[in-house]
Amino acid sequence: MGIYKRGNVFWIDFYDSNRKRVQESSESSSRRDAEAFLALRKSEILRGLYKQPVKISLGEFGERYMEHAKANKRSWLRDEQMLNHLCEFFGKDRSLTEITPLQIESYKIKRQGNVADSTVNRELALLKRMFNLAITWDLYLGLNPVRKVKFFREFNKRLRVLSPEEEEKLLQNAIPYLQDLIRFALNTGLRIGEIFSLRWSHVDLPRGILAVFASKTQTIREIPINSEARKVLEAWKLNKKNENVFYNPQTGKPFVDLKAGFVLGCEKAGISDVTWHTLRHTFASRLVNSGVDIVTVKELLGHSSISVTMRYAHTNIESKRAAVEKLDGFGDNLVTVGPKLHNSSAALSPSRSASYNVSRG
């Protein structure tokens, strides 16, 4: 038994209860951490609690994770995209036990040069979630290596929304079926995954209601169908081929990804920094700017917490301006009797000084 170093990381070397030699990374550059880890393993062996680490690659576990995500998450498509970036950097064949905090830090720095800090944080959060699940499923026995990696600090930025002019340009340059999906997204606020999974059994045209199932919270939220969304639904119903509301016109099968077509439409329209989720932001911002209360917006978006919806509150600048302007002249209706000024040269604010001189004149 002992402790040795590979590169900047300390490893422990010991024998399990069956006298089988085990070498395991402590995932730390501190010898003290490695000593504590070795003591833990010794204790587990003595108490009969030690389990031999399972060697599973990132690619293999990624497949298991995606099966779990598809069954439990609405945003699994996004997870799949982020997982591809992780596998590209670390390698599909790399064992989970070989992924160290130092390597994760290297990934963080490399990705920062290509994408926004918030995107890097989402990818790190996915990796952290995957390790936690691997630990829960007894496929990884170490401590989560992502816990030692500091996420980038995120600054609240103004959410990107489409202006009416940009919406018109995008619709003019998108292919016909994309035009319908864009209009539908802008008028329902549904996530792209929710649009893809929408069935005719979820659509009640006589009542004007969409019943959208949220797999994450296991709840159903009702979305009223406005006139624009109704036009889209009625048009697709005329050409109904199966239970899916929207489908690939060429194959008749459900959509899987429309990113390429959407990007092409944006490029032709000359607009940038726009994704499918921008349509959802636009839906929410337009509601807030129209005076819809934030609780109603939360329910329409299907947010689990009002704090998530509050980021749209700052978009209602015109309502805020109108509210503040209601204070104009408020003080003119009040009469305040104060002491006589003995020193006319006393310092006054510019606005008070002007009114004081006018009253004296």
Question: What amino acid positions are annotated as catalytic residues?
Answer: 191, 216, 277, 280, 303, 312
Give the N- to C-terminal CA distance of the chain in Å, as an integer.
97
DSSP 162: -
SS3 228: helix
Q: Are 256 and 211 in contact (CB under 8 A)?
A: no
Provide the 10 A C-beta neighbour count for residue 148.
Answer: 16
The partner residues of 4 in beta bridges, in order of sequence, read 11
Residue with the two structure tokens 């009040």:
334
Task: Please give the radius of gyration of the chain, using alpha carbons only, rounded to the nearest integer.
Answer: 29
Concatenated DSSP letters for 270-293? T--S--HHHHHHHHHHHHHHTT--
Residue 91 — left, alpha, or beta (φ > 0 → left; ψ -120 to 50 → alpha)?
Answer: left
In 3D space, the residue among 99, 123, 101 whose CA is nearest the CA of residue 111 turns out to be 123
Q: Are 200 and 240 in contact (CB under 8 A)?
A: yes
Q: Are 26 and 14 in contact (CB under 8 A)?
A: no
Q: Are 54 and 140 in contact (CB under 8 A)?
A: yes
Provide the 10 A C-beta neighbour count for residue 315.
Answer: 20
**Distance from C-alpha of 31 to C-alpha of 218, rounded to nearest angstrom:** 46
H/E segment holding residue 257: none
